[in-house]
Each structure stands twice: as C-alpha cells, then as structure tokens.
Amino acid sequence: MNDWWPIALMNLLLVLLLSPLLEGVIRKLKALIHSRKGPPFTQPYLDLLKLLGKEELRSTRSFYFRVAPLAALSAILVAALLVPMGGGSPLGFGGDAIAFLYFFTLSTVAIVMGGFATGSPYAAVGSSREMMMVLTVEPVMAIALITAAAKANTLELGLMSARIADGQLTISLVVAAVALFLALQAQLGKLPFDIPEADQEIMGGPFVETSGPGLALFRLSFFARQLILGSLLIQIFLPWPAFEFIPLNVAVNLVKVFVVIILVGVIDAVVPRLRIDQSMNYFKYVIAVALFGLGFALIGQ
Amino acid sequence: MTAQDLKERIRAGLDGTVKEIVEPVPGQVYITVDRADIRRAADYVARTFNARFLITAGIDKRDTRGDFEVDHIFGLDPEKMFVTVRSSVPADDTRIDAITPSIPAAGWAEREMQDVVGIAAIGHPDPRRLVTPDDWPDGVYPLRNDFPYGHRPEPVPERPREYLDPPEGASVLPIGPFFPVLEEPSYWRVFIEGETVVGCDYRGFYNHRGIEKLGGTIQTYNEIPFTAQRICGICGFIHSTCYCEAVERAAKIEVPLRALFIRSVVLEFERIESHLLWLGIAAHILGFDTVLMQSWRIREPIMWLCEMLTGNRKAYDVNLVGGVRRDIPRETHPKILEVIASIEKQTAELVSTIPGDSTLLLRCKDVGVLSTEDTRKMAVVGPPARASNVDIDARRDHPYSAYDQIEFDVPVYDTCDVLARIMVRMDETLETIKMIRRLLDRMPEGPIMTKIEDELPPWQEGICTVEAPRGEAIHYVLTGPDNRPARWRVRAPTYPNLQSVPLALEGVQIADVPITIGSFDPCFSCTERVEIVQAKTGETRIYAQEELLELSREKSKAARR
Amino acid sequence: MFASKLKQALICFRAGRVTLPYTFVQAVDTPLRPPEGFRGRMEIDVEKCLGCGGCAEVCPSRLITVHDPCPEKRILEYNLDRCTYCGRCMEVCPEDAITLTQEFENATNDRRDLFIQTEIMMGTCQRCGRCFPPPSALDKIAETGMRNGDESNASP
C-alpha cells in the first residue's frame, strides 16, 4: 500500500480535531438530561486551549511523571493510525489487532505509571484501580477482536473490516459488539465505570497532580479514545453500508460513531458510579458472554 | 412519670448527695450535686431513666458567685423532660471528673469544655485539644468572662497536632481538609487495610466563629436571633427558633399562638429544602449527577416561595424574642399549597424510582452500617438515629412552637444503612408537606408578636430542643442583666453525629467513605461555631498546606494490593 | 431496573430545560426577579430621617454609627459592607426613612459604594442642650455659622 499516508493523515486529523467535538456532544447531552442548558459544543476545545496556556506544577521530579502525558497521547495516536475509520487501516502493513491492543494498553499503562510516580495517596488509589480495570476490561476487547478475526480469517484490522463488510451480521458479531460496547464505556472513563477518575472519591485519581499542558494531553488522549474505539466498534462489527468512495465511507462511519457516542452519553448520565469490586464482578460476566460469542464464531456463526 | 415523681426518685436514688433540685421551667429539672459526686449522679440519671445525653455547658460564674459551674444536660424523651446534673467547680481548682468513660456520648462536650472554659475533665479517655487552633496559647480560655470579646492572644509556635496512629498493618488515607465532595473542611484520617477501612480519626473545627462568645458578651436579646440564623446556611432558622424559645421559656414570655404556627410552617419549609438539597448531594457523591440536578430543580420553587414570604431565599430572619416579624397572611396560602403540592408530586415520583434502581441500591444497601447499639451509645440524633431503629424526634418528644397542635408520623427504619437514611429523609419530606397543610389549616388569627414592656428577669435558665433537618439541636440560655444573656450554649445536631461516624466507617470500602460520611448529612457550619479563631488566618492556612503536603508524602502505599 | 431508569428519563424530559439566562439578561426579566418584600440593599431617605439613632441601636452587625460633632449636627454612618440584610433598621425606623430595596447585586471593588453618610441638622433643647430634630426647613437655614460642610463656627 503505497498511498497509506493520506489515510494516515486523515485519521490523525480526525482524531486530533474532531474528538473534542464528540466530547462536547456528550456533555451537551448530559446537560439536556439534567434539564440544563449545558456548555457550548466547543467547550472541550476551549478547555484544552486554556490548559495548554497554564503553568505546569510538578509534585515530583520523577521521569515517569513528566513523560506520562506525552506517552499516553502518543500511544493513543499510534493506535489511531491502526484503526480503520472508513479508509482501512493506514499502518495496517506494520501492525494488526494485536499491535492495536498493545498501543492502546500502553496508553493506559502510561497513565497508571504517571499516577504512581506522583507519590500522592489519591493517585496511588486511582492508579491501582485503573490497573484492576485493565485486568478485567482488556480481555473483553481482546476476545471481541479475536471473534472478529475468527470470522474474517485475518488479524489485520483494515482487511477484517472489509471482509466482514462483505459478509453478514451474525450472532457472534452481535455478542462481541455488545461486549465491546461495555468495555468501551469503561475505557472511555464514563459512568458507571469511571472509577479510576472518580473525582468525588479520590480527587481525580491518577490525574490529581497533573496540571496545565500535561493535563491537556491526558484529556485529549481520552477524547481521542472516543473516536478510536467508536470507529473500531463500527468498522469491525457494524461496517454496513460500506462504500468504495473513501470520503463517503468516512462520513458514514462518523455518523454511526456519533450514534454510539450518544448511547455512551445517555448511559453516562443515568447511572451512578459502581465500586471497583462491583465493576470487576460485572466484567467477569461480560468476559463470559464474550467467550460465548467467540464460541459462536468458531463454529461458523 | 411526672416531674414531681422524677424529683422524688432522684432524691431517693442519690440519697444525701443531692444539694438542690429546682424546676424553673415546667419539665426542666436541675439537680445540683457536689463536685465529687458528679460522675455517680450523671450515671444514675442516665441509667435509671434511660436518659439521653444532650450536651455539657461550662459556665463562668466567678463574677456573681465566685466559682464555675458544669452542667450536663440529659433528655428524657418519653416523659418529655430535661434533667440537668450540675455541680460547681472552685475557681482555684478547675477540675472535675469526666463522665465520658461511662457515657461515651459526652466525649466531645467535655473536651470542648476543657478547651474553652478551662475546666479539666479528669479521666477523659481522649483529652486532646478539640476546638482551639494549634497556635492558641495554653491556659487562655476564651469563654471565661475575663477574656474580652475581640481579644487576640499572641500565637504561640504551633505544636504538631497529635493524631491517633493506625493499627498494626494498616496505613493512612487522609481525606480532607480539602476534598471535593465534602463542601466544608474536615479531616478524616482513615486507616485502611487494602480497600477496607479499619478505623478513623476525625479532626474538625477549622471554621470557628466565636458565636457563643458573641452571644454571651456583646449581643443583646434581639440581636442574637440574627446571629443564630447565620450559624448555619442550611438550617439557620432552627437555631434562631431554638434560641428564641429557650429565652421565652426562661423569661416566661407568652408567645401568641399564631406566631408559633408561623414558626412551625417556616421550620417545615426549611426541612423540605434541606432534605431535597441533601438528596442531590448524596447523589453527587455517588456520581449520579442527574438526581442532583433534578432534585435541586424540584426544590427551587420553595426557595422562591420563602423569598416571597420572608424576604430571603434562606436567611429567613423571621424570629424575634416574643414572636415573629412577618406574617403569613391568608392570601398567600393558595400559593403555598400550590407549591408544596407540586413538590410533593415530583418528590414522590423521584423517590419511587429509587427502590428499582439496582445500581443505586448496590452503592447504598448495607453500606455504612451503624448498629442500633452504637447509635444509642453515642446519642446520635435525627435521621441517622431513626434509620437505625432509634425512635426519637424532638417535635414529638419535646414539643416546641406549634407541634403539639398537630398530629404527624415519624418514619423509622431498622436497616441502619445508607439506604435507610435516604428513605427516612424522603419519607420525612413527604410527611412534612402534609404537616404544612395541617398547620395552615389550623392557623389561628391573632397577633404575631408579644409586646415586652419590662426588662427580662436576669439569671433565669431555659432549654429548648428543635428537630432540625439534621437532627436535634439544643440551646441553653441563661438570661443576664443589661438586656443580654449571660450564657448561650448551642449544640447542633451534627455534633453528636460526627462523633459516631468513625464507628460507621469501620468495615467500609474506601469508595464508600464519602457516601457514608455524607449520609449523616454533616453540617460543619453548625458544629463548629464555638470559638474565636481570630488568629492570623494567613498562618493557619500555611500550616494546613504544609500538613497536607507532609501527609501526602507519607506512605504512599496507601491502597496497594 | 429498566422501569426505574425509564421513569427517571421521563422525569428529566418532562422537565425540559430550566436554565435561566441570568447574567446575560437582567434579573428582573427572569423568575429570579426579587419579589415585593425582598430584603436587599438598604437605602435611606435623608429628608425623612430624624436622627433618632434607633437603627444604630438595633443593628446586629453594629454597622451604623452615630456621631455628634456639635449639638446642632448629627452624623450617621452606614458601613453597608457589613450588612446582613436582616431589616431591623427598616423595622424600627419611626419615620420609614429606611427601606430595603430589591437590589441584590451589591458586590463592588470600591468600599465607598457601600458607605452612606448622612448629616442631620438638629435643634437643641433650651434646657439641657441636647439635640432634637428641628421642626422645619426654615429652622435648619436659621442655624447660624453652618454652611454645607463648614464646621469652623461649630462649638467643639
């Protein structure tokens, strides 16, 4: 694939420039459910700009603390270059679903390490909770992707998407999609699973000591996850209708991602937060369900 | 049992040690014993009559009779009486036996007495400083009469506050004084093993304001209702009513019935808006902001209603000694009924979604349990007590204002957890709305203020308890010469409740700590009104920051697996 | 579970949006408009004031001071930055000179915005020399040696 770089550039721009807008939509939706007017859709952009201009306060000289925001964002951006957003996977020749999971988890690990490095007890609690979440949520993502891989007979994400688009919606795909959606809710840090970042309980968890530009990068990495995971869900499990004309495909993808985001936002607004042990318990069942879906895929469904 | 029976039984039971029994106000009995017998007398009263400890007041009477006085006030709920066990303490030997070892509920009251009046409680299991700040000099006692109002003692070098150490194997998670969920500063030193809490040490009183000193020195009788209203943002009116009724009882002032009805109606308005506010806060603590927004939206019309009736959304300022300043005329009744009907309907609707909401139940059911036994031991009051099967309510047990003129139910639950506390408050809100209808219906015509021609007689004592949204508040007033009280003792409902929160926190997961604390609906403004911290605020702030940084650099293996 | 969520959703959507556009519009154009009887910032009609000092007696915040530089003149100073809007001054004023307006947007950078000083011309009792309010405007003019703000002829 010699012309991967326009797609790569498109993916990158979409993630950097459009994902704050998706966050704005979620916030506006939450406000609507709260019976209030809410912030403008462009508020996340303004928040990022404001944070970039603020002073960076450091609670520790630790290398991990300083590098964590950069690591988190750059890992997520690499993941963005592996995810198909309508134009296939730009770096698909270099990495597949496994690489995607690797970089995605790397971003989370960077956050966890940054949290432990600060020395704050709140960040320590938040980071340990994040690790526990990772242990129960990543397997769901992995199983869902393996299910799709079994259906499509490949691990390369772009190809996976194309082959599933040629096929039909089956039970295994539906089950895997639902499981992935639940994992998405947790990975995006949305209620009822926003436990590591629960500001009411532990002052913001791993982010408690980050400020200014570092916080802006962390936030952007979370916004980016929305577009990335949303595209993953849509492109792999619900890629219909698929078009040859790439810009159209991308536009359709964005519309579907938008719908997913709205669902995420609605759930975020109508449930209280779970405790970490309750959430881990919950995901045990989700893993079981996802394995079920995998079973269906392996028997050809 | 009548007051006469009570007096006789006490005299017989404490054979010979009772020096004097008086009943200046019907139902309010004061027993004087020797200093050496105070513990025995307090024990006797507490055990024999199942009396509930209310508060301790230390009074400086050196100007009038040359000594100090210590009053331990108890409530006899079924008999609707108050019994005070008092003794005098010589001015040159300011010590007395502590009653805390046998009555744990007196823990803070005696520590406070030590700090501000300077009467040492011998044998107190935890004699650390409670209310005065760390740079307050030793031996300077603000509530003594020789300490002028407005005096600022030179700050001494701060000594580190002594905190309890965590038990073997546990580590410390400091919650506060700056913490997002708790709107006011409070420091919960939580000891954890893994994710479970095994103990807690509480430090509060960051926000003292010198209100008792104000009331005991420069403020006159009719200025204090306004000070009392500002003891608390949310439950100010109960304090002003409690003070006024305490003075009225002490000075035998006959308040017109219409004024009492108006006080009751406004008190019930306060209950509605406080409970709906609390529901929102509790939901916010759980991350459920939708319920926060909706319950505050439902609550807003009553704020507008109170603004129309009293002139302010929250600082009602309606009370004066002898009656009320503003009427609730008949033309306003239809509007009131309309507003509370709409709130009733919406609250009932919102509350009906709680039992079915399984995620909410997961966070509230069987969380933050405070056993009935602990509740009685620490003399907890209000919804936390009623949620733990302790059936006390000052409106029914010690009637004030017009509560003896209407009938009402008191919701009691026995599951002792956070969910029970939510349901008690919501049931109370709905019951309150019915009470307002009955009060408006039966409100008599007539004047709203008694004309008080003569100066109030000095050296008269009155006690009043009022059921605030958070529990029972008690005010004790000793009238004085020159148009002002000689002593005004205030105890807000959160005072005993906060003492019991460490017990409720045992066995709780870290994530449940904020909701457990929040379910007691702590009102720190009320609790911490005791003494002057006119110490250089700049220094206090720096100290808190350093302390926090120091703690945060402490063992950061706070919650490692 | 779903039933309760559905009910909650219904409650939210029936309520609509309740955000008021206040501070982007004036308070009087919203339900936030303070009603009659609202206890806002204090105002005094100097023409009606007798100089009796009743307000100073009852103010719980002790923000009203009374000062007589000479028997014919009484100065009342109101430090409204301490005002708690209780309304006692309004209640006791025998001439209804003091009113509490509907103004609640009282925050300011300049303390002088919240400071009122009134000067009341008083008559003097023939026997004891103490002040009492003069019966008419003519009497006020007749006070010799007292131009506006000029106390050079006033006795200490």
pLDDT, averaged across chain B? 88
Measured between alpha carbons, how far is B355 from B423 in angstroms, rounded to an integer? 10
Average pLDDT over residues B100-107: 93
Which residues in chain C have their CB less than 8 angstroms from residue A34's CB?
Answer: 12
Which residues in chain C have their CB less than 8 angstroms from residue A270's CB?
Answer: 5, 8-9
* pLDDT at residue number A152: 87
Q: SS3 of A153, please?
A: coil
Contacts of B179-185 with C-beta under 8 Å, sequence gap 24+, read B179/A203, B180/A199, B180/A200, B180/A203, B181/A200, B181/A201, B181/B284, B181/B285, B181/B514, B181/B518, B182/B514, B182/B517, B182/B518, B182/B522, B183/B281, B184/B522, B184/B524, B184/B525, B185/B524
CB B417 within 8 A of CB B504: no
Average pLDDT over residues A137-144: 92
Q: Is the bond preceding B24 in cis, omega lying within 30 degrees of 0?
A: no
Which residues in chain A have their CB less than 8 angstroms from residue C15's CB?
Answer: 35
Domain ranges of chain A: 4-298
CB contact under 8 A, A203 and B288: no
Which helix (DSSP H) or strand (DSSP E) does residue A293 occupy? helix A276-298
Q: Which of A57, A130, A195, A275 to mutate to test the interface with B (most CBs of B within 10 A)?
A: A275
CA distances from A114 to A69, A80, A120, A207 (A): 8, 22, 11, 8
Average pLDDT over residues B21-37: 93
Write out residues 118-157 of A within 8 Å (CB-CB) of B.
119-121, 124-125, 128
Q: Residue A142: is its pLDDT beyond 60?
A: yes
- Tell me if chain B has a CB within 8 Å of the CB of C19: no
Please name which of A132, A112, A16, A8 lies closest in space to residue A69, comparing C-alpha atoms.
A112
CB contact under 8 A, C84 and B346: no
| Strand B28-33 to B81-90 pairing | parallel
**pLDDT tens digits along A198-225:** 655 666 778 888 888 999 999 999 999 9
CB A259 within 8 A of CB A59: no
- Tell me if chain C has a CB within 8 Å of the CB of B353: yes
CB contact under 8 A, B307 and C91: no
Which residues in chain C have their CB less than 8 angstroms from residue A38's CB?
Answer: 19
- Tell me if chain A has a CB within 8 Å of the CB of B560: yes
- Domain contains B537: no
CB contact under 8 A, A35 and C8: no
**pLDDT tens digits along A233-257:** 999 998 888 888 888 999 999 999 9
Measured between alpha carbons, how far is C115 from A217 in angstroms, rounded to an integer? 49
* B355 and B451 together in one domain: yes
* B326 and B450 together in one domain: yes
* B267 and B135 together in one domain: no
Torsion of CA B529, B205, B281, C27, to 10 degrees: 50
Taking phi over 0 as left and psi of -120 to 50 as alpha, with beta for the rest, A205 belongs to left
Which residues in chain B have their CB less than 8 angstroms from residue C58's CB?
Answer: 222-223
- Tell me if chain C has a CB within 8 Å of the CB of B47: no
* pLDDT at residue number A47: 95
* B435 and B337 together in one domain: yes
Query: What is the residue whose two structure tokens read 């859709």?
Result: A41
- Tell me if chain A has a CB within 8 Å of the CB of B553: yes
Measured between alpha carbons, how far is B62 from B72 in angstroms, rounded to an integer? 19
pLDDT, averaged across chain A? 89
**pLDDT tens digits along B301-344:** 999 999 999 999 999 999 999 999 999 999 999 999 999 999 99
Share of chain B above pLDDT 90, in %: 64
- CATH code, B321: 1.10.645.10
Residue C147 pLDDT level (bands cut at 50, 70, 90):
very low
Which residues in chain A have their CB less than 8 angstroms from residue C3's CB?
Answer: none
At a CB cut-off of 8 Å and minimum separation 6, what does A46 contact? none
CB contact under 8 A, C38 and B312: yes
**pLDDT tens digits along B176-235:** 777 777 777 888 888 888 778 888 888 888 877 888 888 888 899 999 999 999 998 888
CB contact under 8 A, B353 and C8: yes
**pLDDT tens digits along B371-430:** 999 999 999 999 999 999 999 999 999 999 999 999 999 999 999 999 999 999 999 999
* pLDDT at residue number A76: 95
**pLDDT tens digits along C1-54:** 788 888 888 888 888 888 888 888 888 777 778 888 899 999 999 999 988 889
Which among B118, B136, B155 is the end of a domain?
A: B155
- Token code pair at residue A167: 């096929």
* B217 and B151 together in one domain: no
* pLDDT at residue number C146: 45
Instruction: List the domain range (segments joined by +) for residue B270.
Output: 211-491
Max Cα separation, chain A? 57
Q: Residue B467: is its pLDDT beyond 80?
A: yes
- Tell me if chain C has a CB within 8 Å of the CB of B449: no
What value, to the nearest 5°, has the Cα angle with vertex B334 and ends B332 and B335? 65
* B140 and B242 together in one domain: no
Q: Residue C132: is its pLDDT beyond 70?
A: no
Which has the higher per-residue pLDDT, B269 or C140? B269
* pLDDT at residue number C144: 47
CA distances from B452 to B5, B218, B222, B407, C26 (A): 34, 21, 12, 31, 44
Please name which of B514, B340, B511 lies closest in space to residue B433, comparing C-alpha atoms.
B340
Please name which of B366, B386, B365, B367 lies closest in space to residue B375, comparing C-alpha atoms.
B386
Closest Cβ opposite residue A36 in set C5, C8, C18: C18
Q: SS3 of B59, please?
A: strand
Measured between alpha carbons, how far is C7 from B23 in angstroms, rounded to an integer? 56
Share of chain C above pLDDT 90, in %: 38
Torsion of CA A74, A80, A82, A88, to 10 degrees: -150
Q: Residue B544: is its pLDDT beyond 50?
A: no
Q: Residue B370: is its pLDDT beyond 60?
A: yes
* Distance between A27 CA and the closest CA of chain C, angstroms: 15
Please name which of B164, B182, B208 lies closest in space to residue B520, comparing C-alpha atoms.
B182
Question: How many structural domains comprise chain B?
Answer: 2
Which helix (DSSP H) or strand (DSSP E) does residue A73 occupy? helix A63-82
Residue C145 pLDDT level (bands cut at 50, 70, 90):
very low
Q: Between the ranges A110-124, A232-246, B474-488, B516-530, where is the mean pLDDT highest?
A: B474-488
By CA distance, what is C87's nearest residue in B? B317
* B264 and B119 together in one domain: no
CB contact under 8 A, B359 and A200: no
Measured between alpha carbons, how far is B517 from B509 in angstroms, rounded to an integer? 12
Residue B547 pLDDT level (bands cut at 50, 70, 90):
very low
Average pLDDT over residues B256-278: 96
The DSSP code for B33 is E
* B288 and B425 together in one domain: yes
Average pLDDT over residues A66-80: 94
- Token code pair at residue B504: 């409720």
CB contact under 8 A, A203 and B556: no
Residue A296 pLDDT level (bands cut at 50, 70, 90):
confident
- Tell me if chain B has a CB within 8 Å of the CB of A272: yes
Amino acid at A276: I
CB contact under 8 A, B514 and A201: yes
Measured between alpha carbons, how far is A123 from A108 in angstroms, rounded to an integer? 14
CA distances from B101 to B42, B105, B496 (A): 11, 9, 16
**pLDDT tens digits along B121-146:** 999 998 888 888 888 898 899 999 99
Helices A63-82 and A212-237, axial angle in degrees (round to 10) = 30
| CATH number for the domain running over C35-142 | 3.30.70.3270
- Token code pair at residue B126: 């935890």
**DSSP letters along B346-392, please?**
HHHHHHHTTTT-HHHHHHHTT-S---HHHHHHTT--SHHHHTTT---
Helices A97-118 and A212-237, axial angle in degrees (round to 10) = 150
- HEC profile of A205-244: HHHCCCCHHHHHHHHHHHHHHHHHHHHHHHHHHCCCCCCC
- Domain contains B522: no
Q: SS3 of B68, please?
A: strand
Subunits adjacent to chain A (3 or more Cβ pairs under 8 Å): B, C
CB B540 within 8 A of CB B533: yes
CB contact under 8 A, C35 and B308: yes
Closest Cβ opposite residue C58 in set B222, B294, B300: B222
* B250 and B134 together in one domain: no
By CA distance, what is C19's nearest residue in A? A36
- CATH code, B41: 3.30.460.80
Which has the higher per-residue pLDDT, B184 or B451? B451
* Distance between A269 CA and the closest CA of chain B, angstroms: 6
Q: Which of A58, A185, A202 to mutate to test the interface with B (most CBs of B within 10 A)?
A: A202
| Strand C73-79 to C64-70 pairing | antiparallel
Q: Is the bond preceding A69 in cis, omega lying within 30 degrees of 0?
A: no
**pLDDT tens digits along C73-99:** 899 999 999 999 999 999 999 999 999
* B356 and B238 together in one domain: yes
Subunits adjacent to chain B (3 or more Cβ pairs under 8 Å): A, C
Q: SS3 of A103, please?
A: helix
